Amino acid sequence: MPLRWRTLDKQSVQAWSELANLLAEVDDTEEFHTPENLAEELDEPSLDPALDTWAVWEGTDRLVGFGQLRIRDGLNEGRAYAHLGGGVHPEFRGQGIGGRLLDLMQERARERSAQRHPGIAVTMNVDGGLEGDPVRRLLERRGFSIVRYYHSMRRPYPGPQLEEPMAAVEPYRPEFNRALHRAHNDAFATHFAFAPASEVEWDHRMESRTFRPEATYVVRGDDGAIKAYVMSYCYVDKELYVGRVGTVQAERRKGYARSCLLAVLRAGLDQGYTQADLDVDSSNPTGAGALYESAGFIRRKTYASYDKVFDVLR
């Protein structure tokens, strides 16, 4: 049966979710997605589904491949930053679908980058999965190379006894939004592959149905500025995901992030979650891995991240 190439839309999120969840099991990524969460992704302010997504169908109702492109508003080390994501059904691998999706995403990323950031080179980033994932061979044939490894970590509940936070922590409140945005951009300015989030990007993230304000904590100064924070999300029922942990540069090494993390973990336990998960850069310069281990997280898997840099499109 011939394949049909289309784009992703709200009518395809059920099939998209089924394929993504199958790949989460087959490729052992555990990146599960509900249709509702995927529908929300299509509403991202920087995404045009008609131009930045691809859907490959067998017949009318079987999705066998997809691609999705995001370009950040801010620059990373003076370059635009694009993330290319997607997947191909295991039964349809080896037929050139993945290669064509990757080529289409690269072409669109260069075009869109030139529109948004004229005269600026672009870094294209793709997740490379676990060791042995077939996507790595495809990426390397297309000129991508490994630039980083990330560890997936988990803390089952109840887990080791949680200490009391040493610093005064506060649960997140909506009026903290702008201060938290400023703190995040400062805290991550020294991190690999970081591009500052614009207000539009930030507010969309904060309005996400996956964000869990009731399991998000901050440490504030007397002036109301946020010194450190831990933000939580939920993508799978009863599984808490610790998505962002940050301390502004002037307040590091004072235990503030640890206090926030302990408060978040306690909240997750009290709220009935069965586990807490997070991902950490294996080369994180702030020693985050040691912090997480001290809070009871155990390293489970290691993923690769691939990059390719394109010069200015002329």
Same domain for 13 and 59? Answer: yes
Residue 95 lies in a domain: yes
Same domain for 20 and 143? Answer: yes
The closest alpha carbon to 173, from 213, 201, 207, 208, belongs to 213
Q: Which residues are CB-contacts of 157 (< 8 A; sequence separation ≥ 6)?
A: 268, 269, 273, 274, 275, 276
Same domain for 22 and 75? Answer: yes
Same domain for 267 and 176? Answer: yes
- The CB density around residue 258, as the number of other CB atoms within 10 Å, is 21
Same domain for 73 and 208? Answer: no
Q: Determine the Cα–Cα distance for residues 156 and 232; give it in Å rounded to an integer.
A: 16
Residue 42 lies in a domain: yes
What pLDDT, on the 0 to 100 scale, is given for residue 314?
54
Residue 84 lies in a domain: yes
Same domain for 127 and 166? Answer: no
What pLDDT, on the 0 to 100 scale, is given for residue 313?
55
CATH number at residue 170: 3.40.630.30
Q: Determine the Cα–Cα distance for residues 102 and 83; give it in Å rounded to an integer.
A: 11
Helix or strand or coil: residue 118? coil
Instruction: List the end-to-end C-alpha distance of the chain, in Å, as a whole number.
Output: 39
Owning domain of residue 172: 161-295
Residue 96 lies in a domain: yes
Same domain for 9 and 144? Answer: yes
Q: The tokens of 269 are what?
A: 């336990």
Residue 249 lies in a domain: yes
Same domain for 10 and 141? Answer: yes
- pTM for this prediction: 0.93
State the DSSP H helix or E strand holding residue 105, giving kind and residue range, or none if neither. helix 97-116
pLDDT 10s digit of each residue in the chain, 314 long?
A: 789 999 999 999 999 999 999 999 999 999 999 999 999 999 998 899 999 999 999 988 999 999 999 999 999 889 999 999 999 999 999 999 999 999 999 999 999 999 999 999 999 999 999 999 999 999 999 999 999 999 999 999 999 999 999 999 999 999 999 999 999 999 999 888 899 999 999 999 999 999 999 999 999 999 999 999 999 999 999 999 999 999 999 999 999 999 999 999 999 999 999 999 999 998 866 668 889 999 999 999 999 999 999 987 55
CB 244 within 8 A of CB 231: yes
What pLDDT, on the 0 to 100 scale, is given for residue 142?
97
Q: Determine the Cα–Cα distance for residues 71 and 223; give it in Å rounded to an integer.
A: 34
Per the structure, how many domains does the chain have?
A: 2
